Chain A
């Protein structure tokens, strides 16, 4: 323990146990000036230089700062001397850098980044293609102002290749499962699913339909029911991703038929479904028809099919601030901006690779897109932007198929890739080289399933068996990722990036 003693303007620190540990280094003391750029953790103005033993390391310094701040709950800090993180004892740092112990060291401290530790894994029967989170801080909950979700009542929605949606509570129990194809469920793999509100879910998949589900939970919260509410027909090929905007009751879908679907969640708003795309229109044998649902669900068509892409559309999202603007990325290398009111194409940005995922960073007016060329390109969609690619984030070894914003920091971003990792990026951590501004990931989250199998070190060709298909970062739940290993993996997402 450290016992700070005020003596005029100087603090003399007597550290008992450390003396015995490093008696020699404890002989030496150095003046340090602790500063922080973050106001909430800054020391009082009158705190002058502090005399500390040079044997201190990061942990001891962190304890010291916590003591000085009088924090009840210790906050881990990182220490920067001359812009470099202190990874050794001060003594070793001074020796290594040839700094005299006589000088006053200026040490900057910041909140330490906590590695995204693994919290839990929920196992499935089949590949998990997408996840979404319903929590007090999720967008679905924020849109639904009426009901609030308490801390422990967070739910995780997973969409699986077996065509089922599952809702999990935080103790890895399945609260609800969507009905099978015969009972009005998806007839093929689900590729995307989202909470529209705490009581409604949207999902879409390879059966070319977008389905709205009503989600009801029992009082105790241990059982629930997902009931089909609406089937939306219009796509001619599998749907790769979807985006929802609850306040305006709109859905955007991206399909392999080169079209972006724009849908309404309201039965009354939506036009009738195109007849030729209904499953009953299929001219297959009667046996196949039997597969079709026995439950009749209202069927509707799209508000608009935005088709100017020339290749499968991989992702479509709403602008985070303006729900009348949509963005879509496609395998035809383009990012297109749509005016959803008029269903008109506003802008096209061509890159040099197939784009597979999309996320909006509204604070920076950037769109992050994952490419098949194993990197993430940040694109400024504004007309004024001169260059297409504002930044490139490199590090993945396979296609980047899922992106999610950091709810804690406007600079943070997480990406899920077919290489079996999720990577956390800080768009400030960049450097400029010949390819322009290039960033590197802050953390890389590997699949827990690999570690459990003891094959964490085995190099997987093409992320075989551990491909990540979906990732979602929620403020309260953390980083939720799903993939080919048939699991949802939850990692701690708090304090991973230094907030600003």
Chain B
């Protein structure tokens, strides 16, 4: 019992610490499962309740795996992998009776710790991992020291970790970086689609509560004015009666302007979102490497953005008129896949169109219609049915940005003014300490672009007609540039900004330390000039060989020390063989007492053990002993193979 307790507490604690960072992303049943199993184990140590036997353990393992299969079905990704580790780690403490199992559990714990890096490489996670490694190392030391005090183990673990840090830094800096990561693992759990490829009524207002980050932006020069913070992502120009669908015209390289005063260069760090869309300030004019600019002035990456992606974008914030006179061929033909939908809205559009012929006039007319007819702006608009446009315009009259943008674009298209809905984000929150903008999912926005013959595509934001504040204030209540006046913000907010800036600087350094950075560093230190892949692999190989050689040398050195004293080796072997059958020698036990213990527990081994112990004592403690005794001792120990059970 005592021994059990001494070993179980630290291991269970290490497991809890290792799993903890996964809790937000693990399914609830796995967390309940873990808490229950570990809780039972801890309570059991106090109450002496029985351990589940092998049959029950197998049933538990099967149940856990079944649960995983049901939950993840056939999805084999990092989430499922972490889930499997958690489920197994929960029941592992039930079979920690032997030292070997305890060691396996601790090694498993180290593995779980590593998996936290799948999710995030933020400073906090990395600091937490240090703590976690420390706890697990202390547990590892503790289970290898029979005496029951924690303090020495904790000190030793701290010392080992402290000694490891210089090596860690060195390896981080000079170990050849692999350009695509070792496992090129997809970030799990970030199933956030961000923008969907279908814009229905409610698909943006649904995102208003999602405070997670969409991307961060740092500007090369001065910050653009708040009314220019439109982040363009996707263009919808087809309406099927209930939803807007994206433009079907990728690949064309549109007009690229010369350098101009309105060009804004900025660096965007986009969170993974599992689509190929890249966001940039409205309107991007040049594509970063690996991406292309579509005819709708959106950026599309060559690959899905499954890892955090940082890219440079150049945008022209003077959106109107750039392509005046050059876009005749690009003029889209809005396709209404079904023309029998929303009849009342169509009727309204046609009746409005009779008054004016000018596109600008038509736009103003519709915006006026919104302001004059009691339309309200709400974060939680009512659900709409089969003819959403009709319901919105004539019944509910409550909407979020996608309602107004959708309605405006729809009405304009009926009036034969080419118009499209643009999806993206509006606004941003300035972090004064890092001087960058954070754009959250809740800042998602939709607006309209209409084609006018004199100025080309112009941006119209109908939301501002009903809620002029939206330009200054983000949906979560924060203000775009509140951070510029640092005194105005609360202490907590300030602290939040500061921590975020610190973390971002860390991530930029830690995750951004790439192969080329390493090369630059080494060059500064005076090593090498041009490394190809071959050189890298050669270096890797050399380094590995060196590490293996060092370990081999240490191994030889160790066994060399032992060889000097074959009696100690022999007696250690004797003790190990007995330990294997559960008769380990406590380090403070002398040979005679040990023999008595062995004889008491396994009388069948008595004579053999007595003979070996006798020779050992003669060699070690007698005044003189014959020279050939050592050889005889070694031989006897080697022949000594105790059976696990008496009589086998």
Decide if A and B are genuine partners.
no
